[in-house]
Amino acid sequence: MPDMICIYAPFDTPRLRYALDIAFRHILTTGYWLTRHPDTFRSFAGPRLNYSGARVSDREVWIPAGALLSKTGIQPQEIQPEQRSGRPAFFFQKHIRGADFDFDLLSLIFFLVSRYEEYLPGERDWHGRFAARRSAAFQHNFLEQPVVNRWVLHLAGMLEERFPGFRIARPAYRFLPTFDIDQAWAYRYKGVWRNAAGTVRDVLRGNWADLRRRVAVLSGKAEDPFFTFSDIEEWHRRPQSNPVFFFHLGNYGRFDKSISHRHPILRLLIARLAGAHPVGIHPSWRAAQDPARFAEEIRRFHDITGAPPLRSRQHFLRMELPATYRLLLDAGIVEDYTMGYADAPGFRAGIAGPFPWYDLEAEKTTGLILHPFTVMDVTLKEYLGLSPEAGLERATALLRSTRETGGVFCTLWHNSSFSDIGNWRPWRSMYEALRREAEG
């Protein structure tokens, strides 16, 4: 029996191709071919998937086709999920009788993974971000489920059941730890004026513990609390959990606190880590909407590492579609790790694993590969106000959901989160417990 799936649809559009690629090439990694000819479809000896408004053959898996994938343009969509087989479903086609689904599964995949709703006008937060609470997944309580992965695996099972002897390889689970280096040091190498201002601030606020720590570090009596790279590397020695580091190389500003990119000690740190791990750029807050500034930070990265950055994650997760991703593509970035929310953990695109970005305005699949993260340290502690114990429970539930689908569990942490500044000390053991579970 052929090891490919024959798919029938009465139309062939970039949107349809993208949804099929997500299902059969990026999650299941199996072959398929698309035909618009019913006779060709019926004569195919292997597994058949019908995506149309009527049955085509005696033996097939039939997904009823709605209108979304045959259209162009961006309009508000009505999302009213109902549970099907223990999973949320929407884009119902209940007027079509006899199909294996009563909803358009491929449109569901496209809507979530393309981030269709983020192209629509609406409120953004202070940083210009699309907040989790605005998403359909958050509003309908399925943000913490890898919905796309689950439905694709369900579809694979249906194809195997309908066509005995046909088997689809399931994806393998993977742990992907990533780290944003906003500030490699809390006190050292920041110069006289920044430390003097910090000292005055500690005194005025009565932060005596921070003041004593600052003095101890600057006098050489203590290690800088943010310089935790030896620990991070020691924790992630296994090849299957090689960490990715993103470095901030912007100028000093309200939301940009790194030391100068010219400082030899920072350059030495970046060059050393780049020789042992995947690294990328962490564009400054201001560079997110300033192509010239971003280009300058790209040049700085190239100068330090000897190669242009291929990976990126936006500082403060500042992202606007399609402008941000077009900026990255123009700069030569091929992988981005920004796809996730600051204000809530979960699966922003409904998928646990990398996928190509679809430019909805241009109606085309691009060469930019997105690596969505599932949980961030600051989300758990600052946005949700969780204890380390509650944060571990929440993150572990996401991890297990990812593992069940053979997805990629991508975490976003900061080197500074392993310090004892800002009551982060107990979160160190929380991360170690999460890492052990993720690697187990």
Using the predicted structure, report yes or no on whether residue 200 has a pLDDT greater than 80: no
The pLDDT assigned to 80 comes to 95
pTM above 0.85, yes or no: yes
**Distances from the Cα of 242 to the Cαs of 58, 127, 185, 348, in angstroms?**
49, 30, 22, 23
Using the predicted structure, report yes or no on whether residue 272 has a pLDDT greater than 70: yes
pLDDT in tens, 363-377: 999 999 999 999 999
- For the chain, the straight-line distance linking the first and the last C-alpha, in angstroms and rounded, comes to 37
pLDDT in tens, 183-197: 999 999 887 767 677
| Domains with residue ranges and CATH for the chain | 4-162 (no CATH), 174-186+224-439 (3.20.20.370)
Q: Could you give the CA distance from residue 60 to residue 46 in angstroms, rounded to a whole number?
A: 10
Q: Could you give the CA distance from residue 424 to residue 417 in angstroms, rounded to a whole number?
A: 6
Average pLDDT for 7-28: 98
pLDDT in tens, 105-153: 999 999 999 999 999 999 999 999 999 999 999 999 999 999 999 999 9
Backbone angles phi, psi at 208, to 5 degrees: -70, -35
Using the predicted structure, report yes or no on whether residue 199 has a pLDDT greater than 80: no
Burial of 409 (0-12, 13-18, 19+ CB in 10 A): buried
Cβ atoms of residues 32 and 72 within 8 Å: no
Q: Could you give the CA distance from residue 325 to residue 334 in angstroms, rounded to a whole number?
A: 10
Q: Tell me, what DSSP letter sits at residue 169? A: P
The pLDDT assigned to 195 comes to 65
pLDDT bucket at 1, cuts 50 / 70 / 90: very low
- Above pLDDT 70, what percent of the chain? 99
pLDDT bucket at 104, cuts 50 / 70 / 90: very high
pLDDT in tens, 66-103: 999 999 999 999 999 999 999 999 999 999 999 999 99
Average pLDDT for 394-420: 97
Question: Helix, strand or coil for residue 55?
Answer: coil
The whole-chain average pLDDT of the chain stands at 95
105-113 and 147-162 helices, crossing angle to 10°: 150
Report which of residues 255 and 329 the model is more confident about.
329
Question: Whose structure tokens read 């689970």?
Answer: 173
The pLDDT assigned to 193 comes to 66
The pLDDT assigned to 157 comes to 97
pLDDT in tens, 328-353: 999 999 999 999 999 999 999 999 99
H-assigned helices in 127-190: 136-139, 147-162
- Above pLDDT 90, what percent of the chain? 87
Average pLDDT for 270-299: 96
Using the predicted structure, report yes or no on whether residue 434 has a pLDDT greater than 50: yes
The pLDDT assigned to 431 comes to 98
